[in-house]
Amino acid sequence: MKNILVTGGAGFIGSDLINKLINNKNFQVTCLDNFDSFYDPAIKRKNISPFLTKPNFKLIEADIQDFEQLKEKLKKPFDLIIHLAAKAGVQPSLKDPKTYTEVNILGTQNLLELTRGLNCKKFIFASSSSVYGVNPNTPWREDEQNIMPISPYGATKASGELLGHVYSRLYGFQFISLRLFTVYGPRQRPDLAIHKFVKLISQGKPITIYGKGDTKRDYTYIDDLVSGFIAALDYSDSQYEIINLGNNKPIRIIKLIKEIEKSLGKKAITNILPERPGDVPITYADISKAEKLLNYKPDTSLSDGLHNFINWYKKAK
C-alpha cells in the first residue's frame, strides 16, 4: 500500500486527481485542504463528497501556513506528497501579493519541511506556465534561461521550484515540478475564463475581453493533465525535474469564444476593455520532455473538452 498526500485535494485539479488515485486499491489517499473562501467552499466539499465513504480515502482539514498544525495532523509517513494547495490566479495576486507570498512560498516550504521530517521520498509540485512571463521564445521549454514572471503568482511558483531544488539536493528526496498550462474541464473553478464565459453567455449577459482578443492560451483538458500527474508517480530517473504539462496548441481568445458559442448554440455579447497588467500575450508549452519522460500525450480536442465542460455545467446548475 502506497500512502499519498494530496494538498489542495478538494479543488478542481486535486479532486479529479484523487478520483483517479482512489480507483487504485494499492493507494491510500489523504486529502489536505483548508476550504479557503477564494471561491465557495461548498463547491469543494461537493467535489470530494463521493470519496468520503471510500476505505482508502481520508480528509484532513488544515492550513499549509500552520506548520505546527501540519505536524500534529500529519504524523504518519507518506510515500509521496503531491502539492497542489496554493492561492491561485494571476489577477488576484496583483491585489494581494503579500498573502500569495505567505501561502505559496512559506506554505510550500512547510510542506517541504514536512517531507524532510517524515522521510518521504518524493514530492510532486504543481507549478505554472506563469513562471515564463512575457517570453517570445515559444514554444516554452523547461530549460529556458529567461524565467522572468510578471505577476506575484508567477513569482511564487518560480520560488517554489527553487525551494524544491534546494530541499531535494540537501535532503535527498525527489522533487518534480509540473508546470501547468490553463487547465479546464468539468469542476473547473468558477473564476476561470471558460467557466465565466459559459455562464454569462448562457445567461445572455456580456463577457469581458481584454485587449483585442488576440491573446492565446494553451488550454489543457483536465483528463490529459491528470494522466501526466499519474505518470509522474512512477518517474524515478532523476532527483530533480521540471516538466511542462500543456496541450502544445495555443488558441486565440476569440476562437475560444466562437467554439463556446457553437457548443451553446448562443451568441456572445462582448465588452472590450484594455489589456491588464500581469496578463501575457501567449502561453505555449513545448511538451517534448513530458512525452519523453512521462509518455504524456494530450489528445482531447478543444471542441470535445468544451462539450464535456458544458454538459457538466448544465447538470451542475
Strands 80-83 and 57-61: unpaired
Q: Which burial class, exposed, middle or buried, applies to 34 when counting CB atoms under 10 A from its CB (0-12, 13-18, 19+)?
A: buried
In the block, which residue shows the cell 475560444? 256
Cell numbers placing 117: 521530517
Peptide bond into 139 cis (omega under 30): yes
Q: Is 171 a catalytic residue?
A: no
Alpha helices in the chain (DSSP H): 12-21, 41-48, 67-73, 90-95, 97-100, 107-117, 152-171, 193-202, 222-234, 253-264, 288-294, 302-316
C-alpha 130/C-alpha 176 separation (Å) is 17
Nearest one of 9, 128, 137, 118 to 64, comparing CA atoms: 9
Nearest one of 190, 127, 125, 185 to 153, comparing CA atoms: 127
The active-site residue, picked from 39, 100, 132, 153, is 153
Name the DSSP letter for residue 190: T
Q: What is the CA radius of gyration of the chain?
A: 19
Cell numbers placing 46: 461537493
Single-letter residue type at 141: R
C-alpha 121/C-alpha 175 separation (Å) is 9
Name the DSSP letter for residue 282: B
Indicate which residues carry an active-site annotation.
Answer: 153
